[in-house]
Amino acid sequence: MIFYDAGLIGYSEALRMQERFVLEVQRGAEETLLLLEHPPVYTIGAGGDSANLLDPGIEAFRVNRGGDVTYHGPGQLVCYPILDLSRRGRDLHRYLRFLELFLLQLCASLDVEGFTVPGRTGVWTERGKIAAIGVGVRRWVSMHGFSLNVSPDISPFERINPCGMPQCRITSLNLERKAGLAVADLKELVRDRFEDLLDLHLPSS
């Protein structure tokens, strides 16, 4: 697996990058995990409800992923796995559960106890939602992925119903730990752990 650190990158540019990698993986190239941060941006899934944008002045990218509206900004780790799911079981539900499991284990390794909510996708703590997940698939190659709040300004979430949930509280690793973590620290942990857990739960044929 290739781990590609794109740094701080605009949403449109990152989307074009994903689309390029998706085509390459469809043609047999190695799977890729993009790790990055975005400048402040709102995005909304293909089936999302624009009414969840509470401020009429908000502009949001509507993109080909599941889920509703969310916010991305500096201090948030965004990961876009470009995976050939045709070789990993062709089971989108199982893939989503893997992403949740990975995030739960990642948080636990930092002494943050997370949990999932039946009927919802993502990871929560007692203080609120800490990670959002929204994926898309093209010919069984995945795109989009998850965002994990490390140290972002969470006030922009107040202008939306995050993931379509009114009054959804938002938290971050640094709010949970009351200690400083940088996105770069999380990138190293993801590099160390993602591929091994993926091969364990979604082995490639």
> What does the pLDDT look like over 166-179, one tens digit per residue?
888 999 999 998 77
Output the six-digit token pair for 177: 């730990």
Closest CA to 55 of 170, 197, 199, 161: 161
The pLDDT value recorded for residue 121 is 93
Q: Which of 79, 107, 163, 168 is catalytic?
A: 163
Higher model confidence: residue 205 or residue 40?
Answer: 40
pLDDT tens-place string over residues 69-107: 999 999 999 999 999 999 999 999 999 999 999 999 999
CA gap 58, 77 in Å, rounded: 22
Q: Is 163 a catalytic residue?
A: yes
Q: What is the pLDDT of residues 36-59, one digit of tens each?
A: 999 999 999 988 898 999 987 888
Q: Which CATH superfamily is domain 2-201 in?
A: Bira Bifunctional Protein; Domain 2 (3.30.930.10)
Helix (H) or strand (E) holding 4: strand 2-8
What residues are paired with 92 via a beta bridge?
A: none
pTM listed for this prediction: 0.95
